[in-house]
Structure 1
Amino acid sequence: MSSLRHLHLDSSKRQPLLKDHTQVGDEPLSLPVKKVHTHPCISGGDEDASVYFIGTATTVIEWQGMRILTDPNFLHAGDHIHLGPGVTAERLTNPALALHELPSLDCILLSHYHADHFDQKVEASLNRLFPIITTPHAKKCLTSLKDEPFERVTELDFFESVMLHTGSGPVPGTDVKPVVRVTGTPGKHVPPGALAAANEFLQAVPPVNGWLVELGYAHDMATGADPETIKTGYRIYISGDTLFVDELQEIKRKLTDEKIDLMLIHLGGTTIPGPKMPLVMVTMDAEQGLKLMHLMDPDVTIPIHYDDYSVFLSPLSDFKNKVDEDGWHDRVVYLDRGEQYRFQVRAAEEA
């Protein structure tokens, strides 16, 4: 990975998530977890990290006191969003909690600037100093808002990385500190060919990133260690709103023999303008999702982004059937909204 940047996120100095909160202490202390899931085959009871599913592509990744919110969408059933020229969608479900019910967070990971991933109420409510990591396109949109532009937006292109420093001390018995490295990965929201060419001109559907989120350990830069070196204890791949395209193979080539521990896969077979007139599909359906499992070969897959809006054509049951037919059922964890998957990050000396 290249073009590494650094973002220092001291949990003792967190920015409030919302504009109307004057301090982080205004937020709740924890997430309301309905049910906890662990590895379908192995669970030692010593899990120290988690993914919490809120709805759509909105999750909270938590480890070593750091919390990362992905693709914040907190609209409720009956609310509508704009997805492009002449295309709207209705929310069919409710999120696991409201935006103001979130505990304190460190940053937002935004795959692209689309209303089902960054809705109008979120945009209006967020503190403009809250850190956001996103695509170059989304940064341009967020920092050029007329009334109140966002001020702490970090852009990542494909295979650019940012290191998140937690501000915590060394892991006991070691000289390394916990860090999180986030790397942008390729995604295509529009199928290749004439449609992609037309979209380049019309800019109807925004560019999208996937992400590699590596939870691990690094030496303090002051020691003279290589700033790009990280001992990865757990690697999460988030697909983003992509189709199964050739560019995804570059992710595996970059990783060589390194393992993906967990994949959060965006499904749903999103169609434009909608299921009643499915002219074009812009996110993976069940068949493409299974292909991505074969390509990435993650230890565990969690499907997200599959039934929250009226533009989804491929229900979760389609994916379950494909997975079962292929014999991969013991490598998938299904989370309902408000449920959490807990996992163990390899220790510093094991990473």
Structure 2
Amino acid sequence: MASKRSITIDPSRKQAPTRDRPSTTLKEHLPPAKSSKSHPTPTTLEECNATLFFVGTATTVLEWQGIRLMTDPNFLHTGDHVHLGPGVTGTRRTNPAVDLHDLPHIDLVLLSHYHADHFDQEVEASLRRDLPIITTPHAHSHLTSKGDSESFTSVHALDAWEHMFVKIKVDVAMRTGADTPSFSSRRQQPCLHLTGMPGKHVGDGLLSTANDILGAVPPTNGWMLELGYAPTSDMDASTTDDEAFICSYRIYISGDTLYVKDLERIPELYTHAGKPIDLMLIHLGGTTIPGPHIPLLMVTMDAKQGVQLVQLVRPDLTVPIHYDDYDVFLSPLADFKAEMSKAGLGDKAVYLDRGDEFRFRVRDP
């Protein structure tokens, strides 16, 4: 079956991620990681060919085959405020590991939902308008309806279970240098396959129905991000053959969600279907609204729900993010560590602080 939805990005076209900064001052790299971590099983960092840099809250930067993919950009600083809904604000407790205007080039943004702690006011004002963004239909409608000079022009909507390919343009003639990607066949090009995963800020039941009507809390997605390879012949085609795509590393990003019944379809389609999940980025924190002093409603997983999801999805490894950057988080990372240990899963997680990186290996085709 061929997917009708695909975009192509060219990593050699290095542009500043923000529109008010000339490309001549563009940083070449992210800042050096405070600490580099990898899979707990014996391996060497030299064997790794991909990195995940943790900026803070749900913001990460993934680098592989020359591309940089950024998730949920939030670059506010300690004391800054975000609007989270009618009468609800959050105050940032931490600083990001890198400032927005010090980022190197970014090829693609993966935005789980249109909430200011995931796409803050400075990000919204500053990002260049032609930066490709994959997000929810709800966020798509907001980002593309700001008027001629302010609307984002390369936004792609994916709802739960919808999917698309992101083709990575690599010059076959240049694959022999020391700094170029390594793969075993010139007939294969690196490619990303993205599938929207279900997520709900408001749990199943009457509250969810009421929120659907009132729209107080925006709809949210998780993502299944598959790093792999597609035939070189597909690069200039308008479609990509799903069956010809070779997945070499699978990452599930939970997004801001509670543990809800819709998530139970994920292992049916992946883990139990012979498509193991290599890594899960799990959004935690037990976010509460309207705030920490009146915690009436939890809208992201706390530690216990997080472990439930680990046990359901059974990733090879889990990296928690989105756990303590705002004052609306009431379930600290220490709670998740304790629950993972209690469940006998202590060796199935890697813990990153802001500025740390996780290094891993994407298998050759």
When the two structures are superposed, what TM-score results if normalisation uses the length of structure 2? 0.91
Counterpart Cα distance in 2 of 1:226 and 1:165:
9
The residue type equivalent to 2:10 in the other structure is D
Does residue 1:201 correspond to 2:213, yes or no? yes
Deviations 1:233-287 (A, max 9, x none): 1000000000001101112222222110000000000001122211110000000
Counterpart Cα distance in 2 of 1:300 and 1:26:
37
Q: CA deviation at 1:115?
A: 0.2
For the Cα contact (< 8 Å) 1:28–1:104, is it kept in 2?
yes
The residue type equivalent to 1:43 in the other structure is T
Give structure 2 stretches of 5+ with no counterpart. Answer: 173-182
Residues 276 and 321 of structure 1, relative CA distance in 2, 3 Å threshold: same
Q: CA deviation at 1:169?
A: 3.8
For the Cα contact (< 8 Å) 1:271–1:281, is it kept in 2?
yes
Counterpart Cα distance in 2 of 1:338 and 1:85:
33
2:152 equivalent in structure 1: 150
2:25 equivalent in structure 1: 26
The residue type equivalent to 1:149 in the other structure is S
Does residue 1:279 correspond to 2:279, yes or no? no
Secondary structure in 1 aligned to 2:336? helix
Counterpart Cα distance in 2 of 1:30 and 1:344:
20
Does residue 1:5 correspond to 2:44, yes or no? no
Across the aligned residues of Structure 1 and Structure 2, the Cα RMSD in angstroms comes to: 1.7
Does residue 1:313 correspond to 2:342, yes or no? no
Deviations 1:196-235 (A, max 9, x none): 1221121111100000111101103459996223111100
Counterpart Cα distance in 2 of 1:150 and 1:212:
24
Which residue, 327, 330, 334 being the options, matches 2:351?
Answer: 334
Q: CA deviation at 1:5?
A: 1.2
Which residue, 242, 258, 279 being the options, matches 1:243?
Answer: 258
- % same residue: 53
For the Cα contact (< 8 Å) 1:2–1:159, is it kept in 2?
no
The residue type equivalent to 1:11 in the other structure is P
Counterpart Cα distance in 2 of 1:249 and 1:4:
27
Deviations 1:266-321 (A, max 9, x none): 00000011222111100000000000000110111000000000111101010010
2:201 equivalent in structure 1: 189
Counterpart Cα distance in 2 of 1:116 and 1:159:
24
Deviations 1:87-141 (A, max 9, x none): 0010011100100111111110000000000000000011111111000000000
Q: CA deviation at 1:326?
A: 1.3
Counterpart Cα distance in 2 of 1:221 and 1:190:
44
Counterpart Cα distance in 1 of 2:331 and 2:107:
33
Per mean C-alpha deviation after superposition, the further-off stretch among 306-315 and 9-18 is: 9-18
Secondary structure in 1 aligned to 2:141? helix
Counterpart Cα distance in 2 of 1:316 and 1:2:
42
Q: CA deviation at 1:56?
A: 0.3
For the Cα contact (< 8 Å) 2:184–2:364, is it kept in 1?
no
Counterpart Cα distance in 2 of 1:43 and 1:280:
42
Counterpart Cα distance in 2 of 1:181 and 1:95:
28
The residue type equivalent to 1:303 in the other structure is P
Deviations 1:306-345 (A, max 9, x none): 0000111101010010011111111100000000000011
Secondary structure in 2 aligned to 1:12? coil
Secondary structure in 2 aligned to 1:268? coil
Which residue, 249, 272, 293 being the options, matches 2:310?
Answer: 293
2:241 equivalent in structure 1: 227
Q: CA deviation at 1:172?
A: 4.6
Q: CA deviation at 1:31?
A: 1.3
For the Cα contact (< 8 Å) 2:16–2:104, is it kept in 1?
no
